[in-house]
Amino acid sequence: MKITKQKGTRDIYGQDIKIWQYIEQNIREICKTHCFNEIRTPVFEATELFARGVGDETDIVNKEMYTFLDKGGRSITLRPELTAGVVRAYIENGMSSMVSPVKLWYEANMYRYEKMQKGRYREFTQFGIEYFGSKSYLADIEVITLAYELFKKLNLIDKVTLTINSIGCIECRKKYIEKLKEYIKPNLDKMCDTCKIRYEKNPLRMLDCKEDRCQNILENAPMITDYICDECKSDFEALKSMLDKLGIKYEVDKRIVRGLDYYNKTVFEYISNEYGFAVCAGGRYDKLVENIGGESTSAVGFGMGLDRICLLLENSMDNNVDNVDIYFAVLDKDKYSNALKMVLSLRENNIKVEIDTLDRSFNAKLKYANKINAKYVCIIGDELKQNKCTIKNMENSKQDLVDFKLEKIISIIK
Ligand code: ATP
Ligand code: MG
């Protein structure tokens, strides 16, 4: 029986891996200039972490987690997102006593049991940042602008739209939830079963329901922005005015509540203009650290779907082929060790060198040199007795007999 990859997973290689490396290089650079430090956490965590951290009534926890009992009988879950994991690490490693704010970034694979679509996989990669220890909307600005600068660096800024909203604090949300429930009550029996549960347990989640019949009922539902308290309102105004001053365009989308339970105040998404899906989503989560058992700590962050970023870049990146600086064609097996010593020295000097391990004819070797786009070929034959080799320039086919010396060969290549 042929063994194939699992549904929702992919092998990434060839031109695709170039796009990934390009994105990852830009992420590293941007996190460095914005002074964020990398964190790596385990792929699996206690299931309880996500139940508490992401929220019981979310799609992620309800339907999408890869959960199993390990051989010791513990309930384990493959991380479906990383904020909960980073918060766990923040608490467990006592980072609250480090210099504040604590600014972390991660890039990692996530696992969700999802229905496959374009840009939706069961194993996918997120780049994310978490900014701990600032209550101020200025931290929200730091987080939103980091994503903005990354889109600029990747030449994607015209392909995405920033949408923002405020979902208020716990206090102002209480009032809103009452109003929302009042509005929905007469139509509750027409909503999906999940929404009926959400109505009791977490009514805000209903706004995020993907079923049409629920969305139709919600079309004229009261908006949270009309119920937020004075402090939340003034923070949101300050945030918008700062974005205006920075010349960062945005739209206020009163429907964003975000798929995860832990957000409050600012929420935002960067939406792909072409595909309509979110490529980056985040917000403020001032209660999460406390919920997971730490001291009360304000925080804000985002998660960016890199697989979706790849889709946006696919059509705009050049197919740049890797080239090889020099290829060694060894015609006499006895001279292989001399050739290999030279090859290793050249590689130490940061020169891209290829040498054959296949026993093939001189013509086959030259054909191969062409295929791998070698700029030069070094032919090692009888002349090595006089400490010479032939270097062929593959662009103009000129050949020269030269000294078999490291400096000489480097000078030709450079
Ligand atoms: P959606 O509404 O698209 O399901 P979400 O609210 O579940 O998104 P988050 O949990 O906020 O998404 O994750 C942050 C980002 O990670 C998303 O904006 C998206 O770019 C990406 N993402 C989420 N799920 C997937 C997936 N299954 N495959 C690829 N990328 C994903
Ligand atoms: Mg989802």
Query: Residue 127 forms beta bridges with which residues?
Result: 107, 304
Ligand nearest to the CA of 110: 1
Nearest alpha carbon, ligand 1 atom 11: 281
Q: 312-331, pLDDT tens digit by residue?
A: 998 777 766 678 999 999 99
Burial 264-273 (b: 16+ CB within 10 A, else e): bbbbbbbbbe
Atom of ligand 1 nearest to the CA of 279: 20
Residue labelled with tokens 């999802």: 114
- Sketch the domain layout of the chain as residue ranges: 14-169+228-313, 324-413
Where residue 223 falls among pLDDT bands split at 50, 70, 90? confident
Which of 366, 348, 347 is closest to 356 using CA atoms? Answer: 366
Instruction: Please tell me the distance from the alpha carbon of residue 377 to that of residue 414, in angstroms, as a whole number.
Output: 14
Nearest alpha carbon, ligand 1 atom 26: 120
Where residue 219 falls among pLDDT bands split at 50, 70, 90? confident
Q: Which residues contact 35 (CB under 8 A, 6 or more apart)?
A: 103
Please give the structure tokens belonging to residue 111. 């696992």
Alpha helices in 133-169 (DSSP H): 137-153
Residue labelled with tokens 């700590």: 297
Which of 383, 329, 387, 316 is closest to 358 using CA atoms? Answer: 329
Please tell me the predicted confidence (pLDDT) of residue 306. 98
Ligand nearest to the CA of 267: 1
Q: 150-166, pLDDT tens digit by residue?
A: 999 999 999 999 999 99
Higher pLDDT, 268 or 322: 268
Q: Which residues contact 224 (CB under 8 A, 6 or more apart)?
A: 165, 166, 167, 168, 173, 176, 204, 254, 257
Pairing of strands 278-284, 264-272: antiparallel
Where residue 27 falls among pLDDT bands split at 50, 70, 90? very high
Please tell me the predicted confidence (pLDDT) of residue 144. 98
pLDDT surpasses 80 at 261: no
Expressed in angstroms and rounded, the spacing between residue 55 Cα and the centre of ligand 2 is 13
Instruction: Please tell me the distance from the alpha carbon of residue 251 to that of residue 165, in angstroms, as a whole number.
Output: 9
- Give the type of residue at 38: E
Instruction: Please tell me the distance from the alpha carbon of residue 4 to that of residue 348, in angstroms, as a whole number.
Output: 39
Where residue 208 falls among pLDDT bands split at 50, 70, 90? confident
- Our mutation pick for probing the ligand 1 site, out of 9, 23, 82, 110, counting the most ligand atoms within 8 A of Cβ, is 110
Where residue 254 falls among pLDDT bands split at 50, 70, 90? confident
Alpha helices in 202-322 (DSSP H): 212-218, 230-246, 288-291, 306-314
CATH, domain range 14-169+228-313: 3.30.930.10
CATH, domain range 324-413: 3.40.50.800
Where residue 40 falls among pLDDT bands split at 50, 70, 90? very high
- Give the type of residue at 114: E
Q: Is 204 in the pocket of ligand 1 (CB under 6 A)?
A: no
Q: Is 278 in the pocket of ligand 1 (CB under 6 A)?
A: yes
Q: How far apart are the first and last CA of the chain?
A: 52
Please give the structure tokens belonging to residue 277. 């899906």
Please tell me the predicted confidence (pLDDT) of residue 89. 98
